[in-house]
Amino acid sequence: MSTAFTTRTLEITTGTTETVADLTTDCATFLQEVADGRDGLLNIFVPHATAGIALLETGAGSDEDLLAALHDLLPADNRWRHRHGTPGHGRDHVLPALVPPHATLPVISGRLALGTWQSICLVDTNVDNPERTVRLSFLG
Supply the DSSP string of the chain, one letter for each residue: ----EEEEEEEEE-TTS-EEEE-HHHHHHHHHHHTTT--EEEEEE---TTEEEEEE--SSSHHHHHHHHHHHHS-SSTT-S---SSTTTHHHHHHHHHS-SEEEEEEETTEE---TT-EEEEEE--TT--EEEEEEEEE-
Pick from 38, 45, 57: which is nearest to 107 by CA? Answer: 38
Q: Calculate mean pLDDT across residues 57-78.
A: 94
Average pLDDT score over the chain:
94
What residue type is 92 in one-letter code? D
- Residue 53: name the closest of 129, 120, 111 by CA: 120
C-beta of residue 121 within 8 angstroms of C-beta of residue 59:
no
What is the pLDDT, as a whole number, of residue 139? 97
83, pLDDT greater than 90: no
pLDDT, tens digit, 9 for 90 and up, residues 125-134: 999 999 999 9
pLDDT, tens digit (0-9, with 9 covering 90-100), for 101-122: 999 999 999 999 999 999 999 9
CB under 8 Å to 61, separation ≥6 — which residues? none
Q: Which domain holds residue 112?
A: 5-139
Q: What is the CATH number of the domain that holds 41?
A: 2.60.120.460
Instruction: Report strand pairing: 51-56 vs 119-124.
Output: antiparallel
Per the structure, how many domains does the chain have? Answer: 1
pLDDT in tens, 12-50: 999 889 999 999 999 999 999 999 999 999 999 999 999
Q: How confident is the model at residue 88 (pLDDT cuts 50, 70, 90)?
A: confident
